[in-house]
């Protein structure tokens, strides 16, 4: 899915590249406002403020301190491994 054409939302290949890095940037707790791309791209800054809002809401909702996606993956894997007790 690496389409370099300009999308309907005005997103570019730069946007795709930036958005690919977003999860990592979020996880590392990096200050996203220092990202060069955000200074020049309204689309991505809007996306980031959306994501930051969602992340804040998620922190309020989740009773754990570190809601890393990896944690949920581990839980799901563990659940799948768990042999379902059959009668
Ligand atoms: Zn962008």
Rounded to the nearest 10 degrees, the angle between the axes of helix 42-61 and helix 13-28 is 30
For residue 30, being part of any structural domain is answered with: yes
Two tokens, residue 65? 């301190």
Give residue 74's domain range: 13-81
Q: How many domains does the chain have?
A: 1
Q: How far is the CA of 6 from the centre of ligand 1 (A)?
A: 11
Q: How far is the CA of 53 from the centre of ligand 1 (A)?
A: 18
For residue 47, being part of any structural domain is answered with: yes
Spatial separation of the C-alpha atoms in residues 81 and 39, rounded to whole Å: 46
What is this structure's pTM?
0.54
Spatial separation of the C-alpha atoms in residues 37 and 1, rounded to whole Å: 21
Is the pLDDT confidence value at 2 over 60?
no
CB atoms within 10 A of CB 52: 13
For residue 67, being part of any structural domain is answered with: yes
- What would the pLDDT profile of 20-63 be if each residue is shown by its tens digit? 998 888 888 788 888 999 999 999 999 998 888 887 887 777 66
pLDDT at 66: 61
Spatial separation of the C-alpha atoms in residues 74 and 33, rounded to whole Å: 31
For residue 53, being part of any structural domain is answered with: yes
For residue 36, being part of any structural domain is answered with: yes
- What would the pLDDT profile of 56-70 be if each residue is shown by its tens digit? 887 777 665 565 677
């Amino acid at each position: 899915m690496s389409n370099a054409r300009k999308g309907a939302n005005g997103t570019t290949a730069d946007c795709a590249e930036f958005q690919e890095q977003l999860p990592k940037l979020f996880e590392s707790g990096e200050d996203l406002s220092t990202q060069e791309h955000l200074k020049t791209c309204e689309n991505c800054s809007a996306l980031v403020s959306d994501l930051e809002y969602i992340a804040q809401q998620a922190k309020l909702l989740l009773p754990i301190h570190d809601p890393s996606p990896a944690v949920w993956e581990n839980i799901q894997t563990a659940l799948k491994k768990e042999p379902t007790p059959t009668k």
